[in-house]
Amino acid sequence: MITDEQIKAWILNKMRSHRFIGGRHTDVKNIRKGAPQKYYDIIDKQLEELRKVGMVVFYVKAGAKHVSLNQHMLREINEFIRKNYTEMIFR
């Protein structure tokens, strides 16, 4: 069973590895790629939770919702990923 914390860590790790930090952002749809479609709603929900705690920032660009990591919380983000991330999450 995949936990919410593992999904959050997967999202944060994906964004960190693609360097979507600060002013560099991507469409929320791109974050979902690589996950099974049945998890798309869960990923959206967890992105909102990450926004509430300040780890990610949302932007509205060209009518689409974009997201990036909060550059001021990178230490906390890295620690969260270290504690909760597993590479086998969607395998």
| Fold category of 4-84 in CATH | Arc Repressor Mutant, subunit A (1.10.10)
25 pLDDT tier (thresholds 50, 70, 90): very high
Model confidence pTM above 0.75: yes
pLDDT at 91 over 80: no
pLDDT at 88 over 90: no
Give the start-to-end residue ranges of the domains of the chain.
4-84
Q: Among residues 18, 3, 22, which one has the least CA distance to residue 74?
A: 22
Residues 6 or more apart whose CB falls under 8 angstroms from that of 3 comprise: 84
